[in-house]
Amino acid sequence: MLNEAYKHCESTIKHHSKTFYKAFSLLPSNKKKAVWAVYSFCRRVDDIVDEGTDPETELSLFRSQFSRFLNGEKLDKDPMWIALHDVFQRFSMDPQPFHEMILGQEMDLYKSRYKTLNELEHYSYHVASTVGLMLLPILAPKRVDVLRDSAVSLGIGMQITNILRDISEDLDRDRIYLPYDEMKDSGLSIDALYSRTVTPEFIKLWETLATHADYHYEKAFSTIDQYPLDARLPVKSSAIFYRAILQSIRKKGYNIFDQRAYVTDDEKEQLLSAIGGN
C-alpha cells in the first residue's frame, strides 16, 4: 500500500511539474519519495482553490483533515495522506509551514490585487517559501536553521517567476499579482494590462519584478554549498531551471499572453551539464 501511495504522489509531481520532477529525481530514493509526498500535499491545496467547486468548504475540510492527521489519525483511504504519514515518521517534519501553505492558498479566495511589493512577498512566502521550509528537514536535516533564510528567498524568487510567467492566466481569473505601486511607477495602467499587449511600460514593470526575483535567487545560491552533497545538485538544479524561465520569456519578446513560457528538456540537459562543469 505504501509503495502504491508513493507512486501516486510521483505521478502527481510528474504530471504537474516536470521542472521539479526532473530536478528532484536526482535525490536518493528515500528523500525523493518524501519530496513527492510533500509536493502532493501542496498540489492538493492549490487544486482546491483553483479548481474546487466549493473551495471555501473544501479548504476547510482539508484543514480539518490535516489536523486529524497531525493528531495521529490514519487517513488510509487517501494515498497522499498514507505517503505523508510515512514522511512524518521518517523525518523531523515541522507542521508550521504546512499550516502556512494552507493559509497562503486561502488568500486567493479573498484577495486578487496587491498594492506593494511587500504584500506580494508576504503572499509569496505563504504559497512558495513554505514549500522550501517543508522540504528542509528532508533535504538537509542537520542544516535547517542555517538554510532557512535562503529557502525562503528561493521560494519568493520562484513565485515571482510564476507570476511573471502566468500573468495572462491570472487575468483570466481576474487576479493581478503585479503590485499596483510598481505598475504605477512603470506607467502601466490596469486597462493596458488587460489589453494583453507587450509595451515598453509592460516590459519595464516585468523587468523590475524579474530583477527582484534575481535578487532572491542569488541569495539562495549564496548558501547552496550548505546542503548535503546528495541534495545540493537537486536544489541548485530546481533553482536554475526555474530561473531560466525568465530568460525564456525574454527570448520570446516578453509575450506571455499568447504562449506559455517553459524550459525545454534539451535546455534543462544543457543547464545540468553546465552545473556539472562548475
Q: What is the pLDDT along the chain (278 residues), one digit of tens a residue?
A: 899 999 999 999 999 888 888 889 889 999 999 999 999 999 999 999 999 899 999 999 999 999 999 999 988 789 999 999 999 999 999 999 999 999 999 999 999 999 999 999 999 999 999 999 999 999 999 999 999 999 999 999 999 999 999 999 999 999 999 999 999 999 999 999 999 999 999 999 999 999 999 999 999 999 999 999 999 999 998 899 899 999 999 999 999 998 887 777 777 778 777 775 45
Residue in the structure block whose three cell numbers are 510515512: 86
In this prediction, residue 75 carries a pLDDT of 83
How would you label 85-106 residue by residue, b for 16+ Cβ within 10 Å and e otherwise?
bbbbeebebeeebbbbbbebbb
User: What DSSP assignment string belongs to the chain?
Assistant: -HHHHHHHHHHHHHHH-HHHHHHHTTS-HHHHHHHHHHHHHHHHHHHHHHH-SSHHHHHHHHHHHHHHHHTT---TTSHHHHHHHHHHHHS---SHHHHHHHHHHHHHHH--B--SHHHHHHHHIIIIIHHHHHHHHHH-TT-HHHHHHHHHHHHHHHHHHHHHHSHHHHHHTT-B-S-HHHHHHHT--HHHHHTT---HHHHHHHHHHHHHHHHHHHHHHTTGGGS-HHHHHHHHHHHHHHHHHHHHHHHTTT--SSS-----HHHHHHHHHHHHH-
In this prediction, residue 77 carries a pLDDT of 85
How would you label 151-186 residue by residue, b for 16+ Cβ within 10 Å and e otherwise?
bbbbbbbbbbbbbbbbbeebeeeebbbbbeebbeeb
Rounded to whole angstroms, how far apart are CA atoms 180 and 196? Answer: 17
pTM of the model as a whole? 0.93
**Lookup: cell for 123:** 503572499
Q: Give the residue numbers spanning the domain of 109.
A: 2-277
In this prediction, residue 84 carries a pLDDT of 96
Query: Domain total for the chain?
Result: 1
Cβ pair 194, 113 in contact under 8 A: no
CATH number of 196's domain: 1.10.600.10
Cβ pair 78, 2 in contact under 8 A: no
